[in-house]
Chains A and B, each alone.
Chain A
């Protein structure tokens, strides 16, 4: 159950971050916001690794996958910020949420062969319903 606490904390922080992004987009472009967000995130992370003397080389395959995910995130987030910039946050955020839940759940179950229980199906349905309610 430890993962729930991590995921919940991540959820609140991410929700707040996106709200703060929306406030910043009123007087700045999405590229600036995302670029400087990365600069400071990366600076904090680099300082942590220097302090902890942690090895960042995790093997060719793992680094390639992490870099590939970076490519996906760059397009995903810049598109998200462009959408936030164009319309209300209470519309955009839940719409993206629905699609994301659907896609990741389908990929997890079909490609990663994760177990599918009735509770899981109901949970996904409730999450989707919540986002539909918030959107339409």
Chain B
């Protein structure tokens, strides 16, 4: 019984991680929005410096080996560019406008997952993409 519960808990651990991730990433966006009169790239610099040190500390504490792969160079650059563009849009717009558009990156990831990782596709997914397009139009249009 205990083993069954443990298995069940382990199976749904991703839900806990997602809640944690959502709260902390939202807090981060909110904090960045409060940084006044400075280049978004400088904000990204300080953010990266802090995060990198902490991720190193977490990996050390949890005894996780840091293994390099050349693909991570591309990952680092695409992440840097996407975050900088997002912070530029945050600087010249409202948090409640820019964040939802940026957040639709989850749709892009889902589509790429379906195409290249052979994840399932159905009518709901197509419906979701149409709703996403409407959402972007409404949040991006003039008031």
Contacts and interface: CB of A to CB of B under 8 A. Distances in A.
Interface of A: 1-4, 6-24, 27-29, 31-46, 48-49, 54-56, 58-59, 62-63, 65-80, 82-83, 86-90, 92-97, 99-101, 103-105, 107-109, 111-112, 114-117, 119-120, 122-127, 129-134, 136
Given A119-B143, A130-B107, A90 B119 contact: yes
A32 B95 contact: no
Interface residues of B, number: 111
A23 B117 CA distance: 8
Most buried by B among A45, A94, A130: A130
Contacts of B52: 35, 38-39, 42
Given A62-B38, A71-B54, A7 B101 contact: yes
Interface of B: 13-15, 17-39, 41-52, 54-56, 58-59, 62, 64-69, 71-83, 85-86, 88-89, 92-114, 116-117, 119-120, 124-125, 127-132, 134-141, 143
B101 to A, nearest CB: 4
Contacts of A130: 104, 107, 127-132, 134-135
A72 B131 CA distance: 30
A103 B103 contact: no
B97 A3 contact: yes
B139 A123 contact: yes
B65 A29 contact: yes
A67 B140 contact: no
B73 A120 contact: no
Given A6-B88, A7-B85, A38-B55, A44 B80 contact: yes
Given A35-B52, A126-B131, A134-B125, A104 B97 contact: no
Most buried by A among B39, B47, B69, B86: B47
Contacts of B139: 119-120, 123-124, 127
